[in-house]
Amino acid sequence: MDKIKVLVVEDETSIRKFIAVNLNRSNFEVLEAEDGERALSLAKSLNPQVVILDVMLPGIDGFEVCMKLRKQNPQIIIIMLTARGEDMDKIMGLELGADDYMVKPFNPLELVARIRANLRRFQKQHSNNIYFKQIILDLEAKRLYKNEQEVDLTPTEFAILKLLMKNPGKTFSRNEIMNSVWGENYFGDLKTVDVHIRRMRGKIEDDPSNPQVIKTVWGFGYRLGEED
């Protein structure tokens, strides 16, 4: 899976480098621009999915860059950086097309979380993939990604997870899972379902002994966990 490109537009070198280092650590591909002109040029030529945009820039300010970026690429995600207490900057940025804002100084981990939250929201609105926590189920390619890394699933495992993820909140009995995945004419041992679930948990759960994605409903079957 290709890395998400994030363009960081900030004229203060120390802040820009600090943001870039933390985004690189979080597996993003980082582009840097020190002013609005450079930002617009990079956005046009390299097509980043996300822009971290400071309001106060030399030359073209962040508000104008925001408007031009939005006109240039309506689907780009823009997160503006504002000074503490500048409420009008937040309001104006959102009105001009920003998707979100961060107030300086900020925790870089929060910025990463905001980026991912906006990406999830965008992806939910613009694709047929299924999302749950940090998991993306690509229905067309029949692939699963966790934390932006591909996880190998067998076709049967993919089918079971697809069934659960397409029906959040619904509990499926082992028999219902078997009928849906293997077919109603399959006369196998219901323990087969348990074996596949156990293998899947080893691949997709942070802690397979305390599963949060595939929950057991004791005495009945399995369901998808709850969103954070």
CA distance 57 to 65: 9
Domains of the chain: 5-126 (3.40.50.2300), 130-224 (1.10.10.10)
Question: pLDDT at position 207, please?
Answer: 94
Contact status, residue 18 vs residue 33, Cβ threshold 8 Å: no
Where do we find the tokens 């009995």? 173
3-state secondary structure of 69: helix
3-state secondary structure of 194: helix
Please list the ranges in the chain whose pLDDT falls under 70: 1, 84-85, 123-127, 186-188, 227-228
Question: pLDDT at position 78, please?
Answer: 92
Question: pLDDT at position 189, please?
Answer: 74
Cis, peptide link before residue 105, omega less than 30° from 0: yes
Question: pLDDT at position 134, please?
Answer: 82
Question: pLDDT at position 228, please?
Answer: 58
CA distance 16 to 6: 12
